[in-house]
Structure 1
């Protein structure tokens, strides 16, 4: 029996597409089978013959045929060639019959609930994701360190070293709350650089900071529990709390961080207080010592917890980094959270919690259920990276780069952008807040900037309560010096064109 003529005119393979050629061929053949252009029992050309007709490699056709055969669209037998299956997986009718038409049921069915309440709540917080592409600069995009400066060759050697022998125990499941060497390295680093008081057994290693947030909130918050949160504040924390159906109580932020005194006076005691004490996100303020002590005392008395998100405190450019809130706690009230994504690179996806001793075992049990565990070989490579001093050397090196870039942005705010923007107080980090005149529409300014490929976020996007000072959240750490200056000029042009309010 001769091969069935294929509808080659409809099999269009695009060599410039990101979709692999075999997948394009698979999709085209599957569609031809399902819409009846290729009938059940029809014999297809040999893989070599079709490859010649299409001008592709034989392996491309073989891969497409094998996938279609595995899924039941084709039958392949030695000596009989490859044919369209008589009973297709997408049909419930007999051979050769068209697929049944969908008709309206006479019996009304209840509307299908698409998502859980938790899922619906997560849709309400759209968090902009920092996007990295080598050689592509996005002025003022925040959340990205300078990835170009990372010692990638050294890192790849360590990663290969801990990944090459499958007989090693790193290839098993037994990492629980984290690789022992990494937990020890994190505990030592947090104690020396952040003043954290802990033992390695209190460290829980997670697959990124968001996983650490999710784990802590799952373990501590029931629906309706009251949570104090800085306003404006971090969208990732807000989304996790909303999905847990927490009763979020926004607390205003000023030049000394969260207004703890006002919260104590006006709000019920919290089950949890979420705070970025060392470098408030997004405003950049540092929580003052009196407020730190007052917050710890108040939450401890109410039997709650404080979740301290210490996301980028390594990068402080005036004096030494501020010691952690956890180091002041003497009542096991503070849970300390950190991340390696801001110091190394985002794709490493390693964060951690340092929990009070009584919570170490429950959190260890829970993380085995949530699956928020990074690969053991990755953890082992990172442990060696820290222990051999490469982590500290990298932080010292990029701290100088970020200090220079911050100075450039501050200079541009003082000159090119001075008519519209003023920097908020702050001494470090990977980004800063720049304030617009009162009453200005920062959402309009951010949208107009994005159309010009300037990626600054409106401060109002981080707010729960209405009002507050308008402004833009502007990153500088991952933006080259010249791009910062050029971006400032472009942003000035945008703000002038939009007739934004001026000082």
Structure 2
């Protein structure tokens, strides 16, 4: 690969753990820090750099979008893109290759890009931005000095009341506003649970495969994660009883198991609740996208079956609104409200009052319920279109799991394919995917991987079958 000496992007490393867009980002940022690129200097056009490096233009544009979002570059129209005037950077400290960070991962479960099939993103093109802007402008005009002080650490009283009312109607959860705590996301909710109800050395059941950030969070709190396998009926409770009968808690995704999308069966729900009651253990119900079920009406929440105050319900606005809103909520049993209030006083700073006011108005005026209904119809259509398009392009090379709901598809790779290797190739080509191997607690090579390699693809932003088929042909070339 030949690059002119004046180019600020040296040759890329195809064997590196970082995808190409990240390597381009790092090299340009280092060129700025070292003085090779100075404030006001023009950086190469995305088209020219893509041609020079032999990459898809979209890969370069992702790197450029990151630089612009973080303030390193500015677009000047026909004059091109320049290094931000006045930018001051220090040369980054390079860590020796012989000392890798054991806690680092090549896979990000909270990416800041927008790529085809990107997990965790709702249909951003279908969000009612005009309504949101109107409500935002109204809330800003109505702002009073009292609204500009520190926000309530438990959450806005009006938003807590709206969430409680919504959960009663949509998820069958009977709770008071005092049981609802507004957080900055699922990880914040889990952190509060750990600080309030758990301690170092406790054992917690986790679904295997399951959402990787949960086990990373528990690891950092020195809590022992117990890998409990998942089958067609969800978490195998009998295995949890065999592996760790005295565990202090279980974290489950009953509506759509993350990532396999199966639902926790009613007998398993009853067995899980019985175990928690008998052992005074806790169940954390992560209901990240329970609204999106296409085979029938959304299932009642596990929390709605809780008669002994053992279930904590974690919900989020990231999947039903948009991720950057950074708002979620946690419903705790009545007997635990005071304990959570004490911990939140010590550790939480509260979420922005303006954002909470907009969400409150969005719910109170009926926009939230209508939006979810529209998205449920839209996602059902896009799921079918994406499935049909991928099957047409990929044929017998993959098998797509049937599933009742959720926001992503599970593609089982046929033959001796590596899901991690395919994901790495897709990232280099500007396509997003996650390898099922990265969701398993055994590292993806043990007996828990009997079902074989698979990749996870989000379908919410794939608009048509033709678009899915076109993207599928790109995957086929990588296979």
Shift of residue 197, structure 1, vs aligned partner: 1.9
Report deviation, 1:147: 1.2
Match of 2:165, SS state, is helix
Partner of 1:324: 301
1:149 to 126, 131, 134: 126
Please give the per-residue CA displacement for 1:62-117, whole angstroms capped at 9, x wherever unaligned.
xxxxxxxxxxxxxxxxxxxxxxxxxxxxxxxxxxxxxxxxxxxxxxxxxxxxxxxx
Q: Which residue of 2 aligns with 1:49?
A: none
Alignment equivalent of 1:128, drawn from 109, 117, 123: 109
Q: Does the C-alpha gap of structure 1 residues 272 and 462 become closer, same or farther in structure 2, counting only changes over 3 Å?
A: same
Relative to the length of structure 1, the TM-score reads: 0.73
Report deviation, 1:427: 1.1
Q: Are residues 1:450 and 2:433 paired?
A: no
- Aligned partner of residue 417 in structure 1, secondary structure: helix
CA distance in structure 1 between the aligned counterparts of 2:470 and 2:145, rounded to whole angstroms: 51
Q: CA distance change for structure 1 residues 413 and 267 in 2, over 3 Å: closer, same or farther?
A: farther
Q: 1:153 to 1:267 in 2, by over 3 A?
A: same
2-structure distance, mates of 1:484, 1:418: 13
Residue number in structure 2 paired with 1:221: 198
2:40 maps to 1:14:
yes
Query: d(CA) in 2 for partners of 1:27 and 1:198?
Result: 51
Which residue is equivalent to 1:310?
287
1:484 aligns with 2:465: no
Match among 234, 237, 240 for residue 214 of structure 2: 237
Which residue does the alignment assign to 2:241? 264
Task: Within 5 Å, give how 1:98-247 maps onto structure 2.
Answer: 123=104, 126-133=107-114, 138-164=115-141, 167-247=144-224
Does the 8 Å contact 1:205/1:350 carry over to 2?
A: yes
User: Does residue 471 of structure 1 match 2:448?
Assistant: no
Is the contact between residue 435 and residue 455 of structure 2 (CA under 8 Å) also seen in structure 1? yes
Aligned partner of residue 396 in structure 2, secondary structure: coil
Using the TM superposition, give the Cα deviation of residue 307 of structure 1 relative to its aligned residue in structure 2, in angstroms: 0.4
Where does residue 337 of structure 1 map in the other structure? 314
The offset of 1:209, in angstroms, is 2.0
SS of equivalent residue, structure 1 residue 419: helix
Structure 1 residue 128 displacement after superposition: 3.0
Contact residue 122 and residue 243 of structure 1 kept, 8 A: no
- The structure having more radius of gyration, on CA atoms, is 1
Contact preservation (8 Å) 1:422, 1:435: yes
1:494 aligns with 2:478: yes
Question: What is the aligned counterpart of 1:387 among 341, 348, 364?
Answer: 364
How many residues align? The count is 394
Q: Equivalents in 2 of 1:275, 1:404: separation in Å?
A: 28
1:298 to 275, 279, 284: 275
Alignment of 1:341-420 (within 5 A): 341-371=318-348, 373-420=350-397
Alignment RMSD: 2.6
Q: Which runs of 5+ in 2 are unaligned?
A: 1-34, 44-71, 75-81, 92-100
Where 1:253 maps in the other structure, the secondary structure is: strand
1:18-51 C-alpha deviation (Å, 9 max, x unpaired): 45799744749x99xxxxxxxxxxxxxxxxxxxx
TM-score with structure 2 setting the length: 0.77
Distance 1:399-1:271 versus aligned 2 partners, 3 A rule: same
Structure-1 separation of matches of 2:157 and 2:130: 25
Contact 1:424/1:435 (<8 A) preserved = yes
Distance 1:394 1:11, change over 3 A: closer
Aligned match of 1:42: none
For 1:289 and 1:188, the matched residues in 2 are separated by 25
Matches of 2:225 and 2:88, distance apart in 1: 47
Cα shift at 1:12: 4.7
